[in-house]
Structure 1
Amino acid sequence: MADRNKQILQSLGSGLIGACVLTVLHETARQFSDEAPRADILGMRAIRKVMKKADAEPPADDELHTWALGGDIVSNALYYSLVGLAKPKHALVAGTALGLAAGAGAVTLPGPLGLGTAPSSRSTATAAMTIGWYLIGGLATAGAYAFLKRR
């Protein structure tokens, strides 16, 4: 049981590292480039949409932005923690696959979900950055997982 708990913590910790790397990339790049993906806007739109469906009043934009970043970190950490399903020697492949799948989803799903396409795919550069940054998050997750499993 202790080994299983350790494995879960290693997976979740690795996922959290990847999610934080991804969020830092998004938040830093948006300060410097108009072409940068805006995952924060997608998150804000998703929260607003859910709250309106529940007849609740969304918070002001500053607070909503904080909620969106928190939601991004939690959801991406849980997603990236799936790296723990792989054997440590396959962590790089698993992290790469998770990152590419998340990036492709971030480019293709917002439109059909009613969140708009501009935040993640308004240009070829934006779409490429979106996929690339999710890939970097997956690679950071894989590196953290491999490191933690060696300890």
Structure 2
Amino acid sequence: MSFINRSIAGLAGSLALTGVHQLFKKCVKGSPNLDQVGEVALEKSLGEVDVKLSDEEEVYAAAMGGNIISNALLLSTLATTTNTTQIITKTLGTGLLGAAGTIGLADQILGNNKATDTDQKKWMTTGYYLMGAIVSISVYNLLERRTKK
């Protein structure tokens, strides 16, 4: 049952991260536009195999799906413990790793990076990933407790 619980927890954390990012992107001036990273990466990858998505909505939907799946996989690796000390270190480590990876990927893929080009955007990105990690480990611990009853 633990594999299922980890998968559900990772997906919950990823959806929370994505939801908060989308909300802030629409409501807070100067927020990071992390969708841009996935969209450009997708277009470059498909260009290598001579596939072109003509509709912007298709590109956005495919990039969002990829973002949710990749973040769910990352966050599901966190959900492996109910030990308090390990929870704190894994949550911080996974959240910071996800944020650093996204910020670094944005720099590599976008070149003239507008997605995370300011300190505010970098801190917000870090906050999104830490929040996603907290949701993931919380859901995992809730599911594990319920499974053991």
Q: TM-score, normalised by structure 1?
A: 0.88
Q: 1:97-125, CA deviations, whole angstroms, 9 ceiling, x for partnerless residues? A: 1111101111123222x234221x22111
Q: 1:58 aligns with which of 53, 62, 67?
A: 53
Q: 1:9 aligns with which of 4, 8, 25?
A: 4
Letter matched to residue 67 of structure 1: A
RMSD of aligned residue pairs (Cα, Å): 1.3
Q: Which residue of 2 aligns with 1:125?
A: 120
Residues of 1 paired with 2:136 and 2:54: CA distance? Answer: 32
Q: 1:47-102, CA deviations, whole angstroms, 9 ceiling, x for partnerless residues? A: 10100011111241112111111111111101100023x32113343122111110
Contact 1:92/1:143 (<8 A) preserved: no
Aligned pairs, how many? 143
Gaps of 5+ in 1: 1-5
Letter matched to residue 77 of structure 1: A
Q: Which residue of 1 aligns with 2:107?
A: 111
Q: Which residue of 1 aligns with 2:81?
A: 87
Q: TM-score, normalised by structure 2?
A: 0.89
Please identify, of 7-16 and 30-39, the stretch whose mean Cα deviation from structure 2 is larger.
30-39
Q: Which residue of 2 aligns with 1:72?
A: 67
The DSSP-based 3-state class of the residue aligned with 2:13 is helix
Identity within the alignment, %: 27
